[in-house]
Structure 1
Amino acid sequence: MELLQSILSTWPLLATLLPLTLLYLLLTTLLTYFRPSLRSLPGPFLARISSLPRLWTCYTGSQHLHHLHLHDKYGPFVRVGPNHVSFSNPSLIPVVYSISSKFVKSDFYTLFDIKTPAGAMPTIFSVRDEAVHKGFKRPVAGAYAMSALRELEGGVDECTEIFMGKMEERVGGEVDLGVWVHWYAWDTITTLTFSNRLDFMAREQDIQGIISAINARLKYNSIIGQAPWLHKYIFGNRFAAYLATFIPSLAILNSSKYIVDFTAAQLRHHQSLDSKPPSSPSEGPGHRPKAGYPDMLSRFRRSPALSSSELLSHATGNIFAGSDTTAASLRSIFYHLCLSPSALSTLQNEISTASAKGNLSDPVTFAEAQALPYLQAVIKEALRMHPAVGLLLERLAPSPEGLTLPNGIHLPAGTVVGMNPWVSARDPLVYPSPYTFKPERWLEASEEELKLMERNFLAFGGGSRTCLGKNISLLEMGKLVPQVLRRFEFELAEPGKEWVMEDYWFVQQRELVCRVKRREGGMKEG
């Protein structure tokens, strides 16, 4: 009875607050919907007033396809959020993503910052301030130059040799090629970075659960990154993060510390190698590679300008992105070659001809791979068909000028704008028959057509924020693909079954199950 009287006594207050609250929500919704300039852009109604559509499509791992659908329906400029605009017009690419662009990264990238002993710190990928980015990049840029990476070919060759041996064991059977190229990429990046091949391939497993940890964190970053302010209430909040440690399904999503700790352990391992001779044999974890080449971390450590926290940041960046991009690209290469017998035959003939002329070593060198034009076209086309990143490359319209779109609509400073690499790769005016795998397009294009295709090619980002690890990926792909195809053939185990894709920043593929055959007339184990 007392409870009822208490409720009745507060009813006049509730009766007053409820209409005011509803009025406030209505006004907020209307102000968001009719935000200056953005109100003129087409887009789904709910996306104009809420982040829910972006959160949902990201949660389902399908945002790359969602953006393609939106541009097919609404045109070159689509309002995909209360303050978010996606564009497909290629004329904006050099404006937004050029080296001299004033468009900085949005708060989406804050989710990719890491925690170090010195406190929170961005990685070279996540840093938003362009001046800081330049200073951050300068001490390590040389280690990513192709001339420096080619000194590390011995490490790539060691990993390729293991991969080849594992495929040899499976001739006549089936293999999940997607899993194997992921393990290959992981063994290679840890070898090149730390001189410590962790033997994912040899042990045929996810070592220390690091792949699962990164996949989980990418999922969290991608979803919550659609509304970055949510992070401070979830894993950006100490108490919430602590509670999550008691719930396994949530703890793995908050794996940022685990990833940093994993990298820190690799740094300590690398420092312990200083007392070991560079020529010690590579028989497993804890040994320098056979050739004793200078790994990337050795180059990083030469710079006195790098603090220990910055060194950790750079190494973590390598680990976080150095395998998934390459693995996704390798899957795309082999998958599309399986689906295109004519392209596969042309590439095999190019490899065989070069080998017969004595132009291919065993293993294939990067320089030799560069001299195979059809191989390079296959790699380029596979990256176009399946860009590794499938979310908006978000940038902020600069202050105070904002951005005037080609249709005359002016977007105020602070508007989040961007292009999805999957959208740029499917522009029919740039790439005729964009859903067709056609390596020849890169060889037959005129100079003007090639320039346009290159401008739209965002597989590695663009401008000053082009993926720093681009050359690592190109080195691995250029060497592995011809080496594998000169000895083996792969056929899809279920030709009519498409692979499964999940878009959590990187568009990862699953179920690339293939039958392994030894290529007739191909190389055999020597």
Structure 2
Amino acid sequence: MSFVAPIALAGQVAVACVLFVVCVIVKMVFFVRVARMQRPSISRVPGPRLARWSRLWIAWALRTGRSHEVWVGVNREYGPVARIGPNHVITDDPEITRRILAARSGYVRGPWFDSVRIDPHIPNIVSERDPKKHSRIRAKLAPSFTGNSVATMEPVIDGLIAGWIDTLRKRFASPGQVSFDISSRIQYLTTDIITKICLGDEIGCVKHDRDMHDVLETVEVGNRVCQYFSVFLELNTLLLYLAKIPALRKALFPKVGDKAGVGRLMGIIRQAIEKRDKEEGSPSNDIVSSLLSRGMPKDQIDSEVVIALVAGSDTTSTSVQGTLLSIITNPQVYKTLTAEIRGAMARGNVSSPVIRDAEAKQLVYLQACVLEGLRKFPPLSQLRERVVPEGGDFLGMFHLPVGTFVGLNAWGLQLNKDVYGDNADLFCPERWLVDNPHRLHAMHQTHSLIFGHGSTKCLGTSIAMMEVAKVIFELLRNFEITIANPHKPWSSQCYGIFFQKDFNVRLRPVEDTYAQPPKYEQVILSDS
């Protein structure tokens, strides 16, 4: 999925923290100046009282690690268009969101996106704000994520999933095994898949059962720090100026050859690029080869593939985990889905060792569970602000002047009761099985906003949906899964994207569940 959180400064946490503190001090010194800049047309938009005076309110929301819940609470309390900053509003209205993201709407990406630059002088598909330049980048990337390319990727994905399931069986489902953290293992799988797709070889997280090259740690630390750069835009401007000084650029920004952080990841990508150069003429289906064949410069490939690796690993992992947790904590859903899986297997309607995408799409309850899992736990909560165009615009009941930043409430969109019904807060796959074409159309339209809309819609949507369905199916085909700690099934933190830990489960091979049940000695309680 595209729209990833900023990671460009992941290896420079200390420097970023210092700059953030400086920014906060400057912000407080000029508080009176900020107050004088209040715009009457925006002041009519309701929102938290403190939010109208300072962007520190947004920073507080991000710092909680629960910003997605904060955004939902704001729109529920103040309405579908609410104010969250001096020049910032947020919306959870599906119609407004579609209109803003539509082609030729006049809205453009705001300076929020500058914080997603890997290189200060090379915009990527996420950070590029100019619509025409963005379209040119997208045109070079799109062929790698559509049509025959996706069909070519499926056997690669199937091989990695099959190996992962076998690893789970050997390491965590053998007799005597206790609970284990499945969140990290799902992340290992999605990281191996996206590196195989992008670079031609997986980096081996599943094989070695660890975060190879600290890719996942780099992403988490980078997001934790850099989410503030999307709020305090002065930091981005300052860094762009500092980047003009060669010595400071080397210190502040990642580069090929770094031993850690994003630079280390860029080095791995560059190795794949050099390998393809040496193999010129040899057929290869990975994304690096595709971009080289389309004439994209190596520095640009570094940035684009870093974005793809982050988007294809963390967001897909979160989608799988959120869906899996919802299924295994709802007994009736678990029972219905496993019955569908067993029935399909008995009829010979699924391939082995991994279900084909075309076969998975025929399992209506599986697809309903995937749709509902993504709806209830969208993998992104970033505001992804757009800028009100010349002449201003009416959003809901309010006229917003040119230059106003409009944030998109991804979680709030998927909890809209007018679209999903009064039980929108519940995990209910059955809502996707109703015989009501108009309601289904409205739900699918709103659900698709998880992946963006218009010219900025995620290129990897079909791959992500295929992965989620396959992994959920294969887990439940092969194992009986139970939560180890029902009172706290996992720990999930939000930094624009989500990071799960301690998702501890127990696995029991399905074939064991049909064996003779264990015998227990009768326990007689005395009256004493």
Q: Which residue of 1 aligns with 2:221?
A: 216
Within 5 Å, which residues of 2 pair with 1:336-375?
Answer: 336-362=326-352, 363-375=354-366
Counterpart-to-counterpart distance in 1, 2:237 and 2:264:
19
Q: Which residue of 2 aligns with 1:78?
A: 82
Would you say 1:183 and 2:194 are equivalent positions? no
C-alpha displacement of 1:56: 1.7
C-alpha displacement of 1:352: 1.5
Aligned residues of 2:115 and 2:226 also touching (Cα < 8 A): yes
- State the one-letter code of the partner of 1:160: I
Label 1:155 to 1:224 Cα distance change in 2 as closer, same or farther (>3 A): same
Counterpart-to-counterpart distance in 2, 1:461 and 1:421:
9
Aligned residues of 1:486 and 1:523 also touching (Cα < 8 A): no
Label 1:206 to 1:271 Cα distance change in 2 as closer, same or farther (>3 A): farther
Would you say 1:257 and 2:263 are equivalent positions? yes
Counterpart-to-counterpart distance in 1, 2:107 and 2:411:
20
Would you say 1:46 and 2:50 are equivalent positions? yes
Within 5 Å, which residues of 2 pair with 1:432-443?
Answer: 432=421, 433-443=423-433
C-alpha displacement of 1:426: 1.4
Aligned residues of 2:355 and 2:474 also touching (Cα < 8 A): yes
Would you say 1:267 and 2:257 are equivalent positions? no
Would you say 1:430 and 2:419 are equivalent positions? yes
Q: Which residue of 2 aligns with 1:416?
A: 405
Unaligned runs of 5+ in 2: 1-25, 253-257, 516-528
Q: Which residue of 2 aligns with 1:403?
A: 393
Residue deviations 1:214-256 (CA, integer Å, cap 9, x gap) = 211122221221122223446973589959969xxxxx9x944
RMSD of Structure 2 on Structure 1 (CA): 2.7
Counterpart-to-counterpart distance in 2, 1:26 and 1:300:
47
- State the one-letter code of the partner of 1:65: E
Within 5 Å, which residues of 2 pair with 1:450-469?
Answer: 450-457=440-447, 458-469=449-460
- State the one-letter code of the partner of 2:463: I
Q: Which residue of 2 aligns with 1:12?
A: none
- State the one-letter code of the partner of 2:274: R
C-alpha displacement of 1:270: 4.2
Q: Which residue of 2 aligns with 1:57?
A: 61
Counterpart-to-counterpart distance in 2, 1:315 and 1:243:
21
Determine which of 318, 324, 348 is the counterpart of 1:334.
324
- State the one-letter code of the partner of 1:486: R
Within 5 Å, which residues of 2 pair with 1:4-403?
Answer: 28-33=33-38, 35-115=39-119, 120-169=121-170, 170-171=172-173, 172-233=177-238, 237-238=242-243, 255-272=261-278, 294-304=285-295, 306-362=296-352, 363-398=354-389, 400-403=390-393
Aligned residues of 2:194 and 2:312 also touching (Cα < 8 A): yes
Residue deviations 1:329-374 (CA, integer Å, cap 9, x gap) = 0101111111112112211111221122111011211111111111
Residue deviations 1:76-107 (CA, integer Å, cap 9, x gap) = 22110111001122320221122343211111
Residue deviations 1:160-193 (CA, integer Å, cap 9, x gap) = 1221112112114322111111000000011111
Aligned residues of 2:489 and 2:504 also touching (Cα < 8 A): no
Aligned residues of 1:213 and 1:259 also touching (Cα < 8 A): no
C-alpha displacement of 1:156: 0.8
Counterpart-to-counterpart distance in 2, 1:258 and 1:199:
16
Label 1:499 to 1:51 Cα distance change in 2 as closer, same or farther (>3 A): same
Residue deviations 1:133-180 (CA, integer Å, cap 9, x gap) = 111111221110143212122211221122111211211432211111
Aligned residues of 2:386 and 2:405 also touching (Cα < 8 A): yes
Aligned residues of 1:47 and 1:82 also touching (Cα < 8 A): yes
Label 1:58 to 1:270 Cα distance change in 2 as closer, same or farther (>3 A): farther
Aligned residues of 1:499 and 1:512 also touching (Cα < 8 A): yes
- State the one-letter code of the partner of 1:377: A
Q: Which residue of 2 aligns with 1:499?
A: 490
Q: TM-score when scaled to structure 1?
A: 0.84
- State the one-letter code of the partner of 2:335: S
SS in 2 for 1:489: strand
C-alpha displacement of 1:68: 1.2
Label 1:179 to 1:270 Cα distance change in 2 as closer, same or farther (>3 A): farther
Q: TM-score when scaled to structure 2?
A: 0.84
Residue deviations 1:242-285 (CA, integer Å, cap 9, x gap) = 59969xxxxx9x9443443343233234445558x87xxxxxxx
Q: Which residue of 2 aligns with 1:6?
A: none
Label 1:350 to 1:427 Cα distance change in 2 as closer, same or farther (>3 A): same
Larger Rg: 1
C-alpha displacement of 1:520: 4.0
Label 1:182 to 1:237 Cα distance change in 2 as closer, same or farther (>3 A): same
Counterpart-to-counterpart distance in 1, 2:226 and 2:207:
31
Counterpart-to-counterpart distance in 2, 1:475 and 1:523:
29
